[in-house]
Each structure stands twice: as C-alpha cells, then as structure tokens.
Structure 1
Amino acid sequence: MTDLAEFWAHGGRVTAAARVFGGEDWIDLSTGIAPWAYPHGAIDPGHDRLPEPGELAALEAAAAQAFGVADPARVVAVPGTDLALRLLAVILNAERPAVVWPGYAGHVAAWPDARAVAALADPGDADLLVLASPANPNGFVTPPEHLLALTRQRIVVVDEAYADPAPGLGAQASDRLIVLRSFGKFHGLPGLRLGFVIAGGGVTVALRQLLGDWPVSSAAVRIGTVAYADRGFATGQAGRIETAGMLLDQALAGWPVVGHAPLFRLIETGDAHALFRHLCNRAILTRPFADRRDRLRIGLPPDGAALSRLTTALSEHDR
C-alpha cells in the first residue's frame, strides 16, 4: 500500500502525487488556497531593482488598511508567515510554549517542544500559546474575547491565514496578542511568499531588525500594494469563494462535513486514507492527516469541470 507520509505535512505536492499515483491534468484541492489568482500581469514586478523603502512602507500601509490597523508601523511584511513563525520563536523565547492542536504543522515546527492543547482548553502555565483562527483543518473561529482573556497570563500568537477578507484581530494586536496574516491564500498567489505580522512596537522593531532592509521581493511589494488597494477584487473574490463553497457542499451531499472555512471543507469517513488514494487515482489531490485517518480536507474546485470530476469520483467510493 502506498505510503502517504509525504502528503501529511501540508498540501500542494502535486508533483509528488503524480510520481506516486501517475495520471495527468491533476486537480489540486489540497491547499485551501483560492483557485483564482489576482490578475497581476499588468504590474511591473520590478525584478531589475531592489525595493525602495517608500515602496515597502506603502505595501505595509495598504495591508494595514485592509486589516483595520490604524498605525502601519505595527504591520511588518514578511516573506511568508512560515518564516515569520520561526523568527517569532527566536524573538519571544518562550520557556513553556503550547500549540493548539489539531492545527498547522508549521506551528509545531517553530516550537517543537510545545505542549499540545485543545481549542478553548486551559493552557495552564504556558507562557506562549500559538493557534490558528479560523483553525486548520476544521475552520473553528476562537472568540476574540477568549483570546484577549488568554493574554493576561501569556503571549498569544494567532494565525489568521484564512481570515480574509475580514479585518480580523489586527486592530487589537499588541506585543501580547500577535496576529499573522497571509496574502497568498485569499489572493490565489501563494508562490509570491508574502505575509504580515501585526504586533506592538517591541515585537515589530525586533522583527524588522532580523529581516533587514529587503524583507520581501520587489514583486511581492508591488503586487501586494496594488492588490490590497483593489477592494473591487476583494469583493468579487469573496463572492467567488462563497459560490464555489456552496457548489462544493452540493458535491459533498451525503458525506459528513465536520469542519469548514470559506476556502475548504473537512469531511469524516471511515477510512479517509483510502478515499485520498481513490481520488489520487483519478488525479484529484486532497489533504490527508497522519493522526486522523477518518478525516480529509477538500479545497474549492476552480471551475465546473473540476467540480464534475470531483462529484463523479466521490460517487464511485463508498462513504
């Protein structure tokens, strides 16, 4: 039987899936990334020059406005939140970290000695708590008042990778409540490797010192600045996501949906690994989990043809 270990860490491994299962014309539903990219072709990526400080400041100001943050100095552009997590681990230097699980593998990678706790559980004497809201893979949104209460005794890092297009917790961020935002998931451009850390002055100053003068590429600066100012795109993208989500729900009729966020659904079945293999044999990549053999995460099909292929493949497998 095929070993699925290389598909457990995160989604997006279409090349590996094609190598293991064969097939062509793969549909990637494994990542929870919007399948419609921001139309950036007319934007000069500026590859022939370094980003100017003023351009970086403009990007952070545009992002701050999108996140509802009044002071752009509290918003730091980073080359993806995965790296930001590792830098925060150095800056914060927690002695008793805890990570809400199930959650992102990247959270555990940044704090490998962290104790795992359940959502809304008492983290005890933890001096740092890391979680996602909406959560991965079940989409659970932790109430803001709960998070603020937790900061009385510890630092809380909240990964809002799936919060767009809502402002989220950015306006309430501080050195006790640190918020991460991702550009690529909502805008469909994960390869741009652009994210943001929203925090108080202590964390943002230390983070900028570690990142240096050119934390992100010229392309990320230019595309991100234009995209965050494009509220028409944000409105249209939100509508596309909502419509595709409703169509996915129809395709999943009869399958128990036990978690959801706008960009994905989480289903429960007797043997999710068998269903994962079944879909892979039809060139459809989804997201399995090592510790939950009964659950599979499925992202949004990009169009009617992909939705039809998924619907047919699901109908061919026992629930």
Structure 2
Amino acid sequence: MIEKRDHGGGIDAAIVAHGGDRAGWLDLSTGINPVPYPMPALPHDAWTALPDEAAFARLYALARRFWNVPDDAAILGAAGASAIIAALPRVIPTGEVCIPGPTYNEHGAAFAAAGWHLGQDPSHALVAVHPNNPDGHIWQVSDLDAAYTIIDESFCDIIPDQSLIHLAARPGTVVLKSFGKFWGLAGLRLGFAIGDPVIIAKLRDLLGPWQVSGPALAIGAEALSDPAWADETRIRLADDTTRIDRLMTQTGAALVGGTSLFRLYQVDDATALQTRLARGHVWSRTFPYAPDWLRLGLPAPDRWAQLEAAL
C-alpha cells in the first residue's frame, strides 16, 4: 500500500472532527489565490468537441508571450503541474536526483516511484522549487548547473521579475508553471512544462493526445491574455500578506518565510494552534517534520473576520 503524502486540504476530515459544513469553513491550508480569475463565457464546442490543434496553438502562443518564453524552448500543457511532475522522471535518464528540502513532496515521490535514487549530489539531476514551498526560498542561477534541472515555478507568477524562465532554453532544463495557485483555479487542472524540446517531446508522447480539456484550454487562454488582472492581483496579494503578517505576529507567531500566497510562521505548538483555529472553522497547514511550523494561505476579502475571531 502506497503511503499517502502530506498536503494541505483535508477539509472533509476537519469537518468530521470539528463540525460545520464546507461553506462555513475557511480553508487556509493551501496557497491558492482566494480571488480566482473570473470565469469567461465558454464556446459550446469547448465542452462538446475534442480539443483541436488550433486551441493548443493559441494557448501556447499566449503562454509564450505572458511568461517571456525563449524561442528555443518548447511548451506543453497538461492536466495540472502534478501530472507533469509524475511524468518527468520517466523521460529523463535515471540516476541520482537532488531535491533540497523541505519542499513540495510530490517531486521526491515521483522520482522514487520511477526508480531514481534520492540523494545530495546535484550534478546529474536537481529539482528546485522556486520560490520554495513552504519557506519561499528563491533560487539563484549559479546554483542550477545540473545536467538535468527541473525548476518548479508553480508560485512564481507573484514575482515575475524573479522568474528563471530564461533558463528554459538550456539543454536538460524544464520549467513548470501552474494555474492552480496565482490564478486560483486549482480545479481547472492546467499546468505547463517549458524547456528542452527533446524532453518536452518525450513528455508529449508519454501524456498522449488531448491532455488538456477544452474548457481548460479556453479559460487558460483568456487568463494569459489578461495581464492587467495579473498586475492588480499582485498588488492585492501583497497588501493582504502585510495584513496577515501583522495579525499573526501580534499573537506571538514569528515569520519564517513564504510568498504572497502563503505564509510560514513559527509558533510554540503548531498542532495546538491548528486545533484552536479549527474550533473557529479555520483550517491551516502543519508539517510532520517541524512541530513548530504553521502555514496559512490568505483569506478571501470577506472572510478576514473569521480568521481574527478564531485567533
């Protein structure tokens, strides 16, 4: 039996333990933008027809422009960045991979499942979550010189000036992008692999045709063609980050790090604080390897009072 990996979420279990219903719970256990990109009107054939090459080409052209993708880098969409994470170890020559942590644990699980050795030597393969989850660490180009380098930028759209997308033109390099975080559309299941055309071609063969749904293609294209929404969202998230930091430090928590989509705090007893918040139907994230770490996402604009009351 495969051991279940530790993630945010788990509202169903929280409801069983502490009552209430899903609508009444404030889920701050994930780093998802609480004000998602507004749903555009979708053409009828987005639901009824198989996704065609024109829809993929439009999405990729907009992605290339939005992220300033190098001309020599290839792009592939998939049903969420997690699908790419699971597939990547199977299209890169097997060896030892270095995944500095603590970090998002799906990377290590995917490489282990594909028969890789998880070690400390970064010369063959390196996974860099940029910025890192959960502490927000920013990677430098000088640290990324492995033969095969995976740069997970699932949270990087909040700081586009720090993106390492220009490295996507290097042989052996793949940059990951996610629509679930910054755009707040986790249920859409849309992610991108951008990088070495040889690796991207192997990914395409492994994932098969129609790997992105028609609605996801249409919504993703609309979002990527709306840079004004992205700019306004970054300003709001930065303001809300300041607000939650002030609120938490007033309770005695110390800021460890994070991004403007999630904040990581050091507290006396994270499990006890999680339980206290849960009594007010606010769900947070704890970490089995750090009993004094608590991570919080940002509340929606009309839900701050619930967090304040729970604290």
- The TM-score normalised by the length of structure 2 is 0.90
Q: Taking structure 1 as reference, are residues 72 and 34 closer, same or farther at Cα in structure 2, changes over 3 Å only?
A: farther
Q: Taking structure 1 as reference, are residues 291 and 9 closer, same or farther at Cα in structure 2, changes over 3 Å only?
A: same
Higher mean alpha-carbon deviation, 211-220 vs 107-116, is at 107-116
- Structure 1 unaligned spans of 5+: 117-122, 315-319
Give the match for residue 140 of structure 2.
Answer: 143
Give the match for residue 195 of structure 2.
Answer: 199
Equivalent in 232, 239, 242 of residue 243 of structure 1: 239
Shift of 1:89: 0.7
Q: What's the CA shift string for 1:206-249, capped at 9, x where partnerless?
A: 11111222110001100001100111111111122112111111
Give the match for residue 80 of structure 1.
Answer: 80
Shift of 1:265: 0.6
Q: CA RMSD in A?
A: 1.9
Higher mean alpha-carbon deviation, 178-187 vs 43-52, is at 43-52
C-alpha distance in 2 between matches for 1:175 and 1:219: 32
Residues 1-319 of structure 1: pairs in structure 2 closer than 5 A: 9-24=6-21, 25-44=24-43, 46-71=46-71, 74-112=74-112, 114-115=117-118, 123-124=120-121, 126-147=123-144, 150-151=145-146, 154-165=147-158, 166=160, 168-173=163-168, 174-253=170-249, 254-304=252-302, 306-314=303-311
Question: Tell me, what secondary structure is at the counterpart of 1:164?
Answer: helix
Contact 2:279–2:310, Cα closer than 8 Å, also in 1: no
Higher mean alpha-carbon deviation, 81-90 vs 8-17, is at 8-17
Shift of 1:12: 2.2
Which 4+ residue blocks in structure 1 deviate beyond 4 angstroms?
none
Shift of 1:29: 0.5
The one-letter amino acid of 1:37's match is P
Question: Tell me, what secondary structure is at the counterpart of 2:219?
Answer: helix
Q: Taking structure 1 as reference, are residues 114 and 131 closer, same or farther at Cα in structure 2, changes over 3 Å only?
A: farther
Contact 1:94–1:127, Cα closer than 8 Å, also in 2: no
Shift of 1:72: 8.2
Contact 2:128–2:150, Cα closer than 8 Å, also in 1: yes
C-alpha distance in 2 between matches for 1:186 and 1:163: 8
Contact 1:252–1:311, Cα closer than 8 Å, also in 2: no
Q: Taking structure 1 as reference, are residues 20 and 175 closer, same or farther at Cα in structure 2, changes over 3 Å only?
A: farther
Question: Tell me, what secondary structure is at the counterpart of 1:186?
Answer: coil
Shift of 1:280: 1.3
The one-letter amino acid of 1:237's match is T
The one-letter amino acid of 2:155's match is Y
Q: Taking structure 1 as reference, are residues 125 and 243 closer, same or farther at Cα in structure 2, changes over 3 Å only?
A: closer
Shift of 1:276: 1.0
The one-letter amino acid of 1:294's match is D
Shift of 1:73: 6.0
Shift of 1:114: 4.2
The one-letter amino acid of 2:68's match is G
The one-letter amino acid of 2:301's match is D
Q: Taking structure 1 as reference, are residues 84 and 125 closer, same or farther at Cα in structure 2, changes over 3 Å only?
A: closer
C-alpha distance in 2 between matches for 1:217 and 1:175: 29
Question: Tell me, what secondary structure is at the counterpart of 2:157?
Answer: coil
Q: Among the aligned pairs, what percent are the same residue?
A: 34
Shift of 1:297: 0.5
Contact 1:182–1:195, Cα closer than 8 Å, also in 2: yes
C-alpha distance in 2 between matches for 1:72 and 1:227: 24
Give the match for residue 317 of structure 1.
Answer: none
C-alpha distance in 2 between matches for 1:64 and 1:33: 23
Shift of 1:311: 2.2
C-alpha distance in 1 between matches for 2:81 and 2:35: 21
Question: Tell me, what secondary structure is at the counterpart of 1:63?
Answer: helix
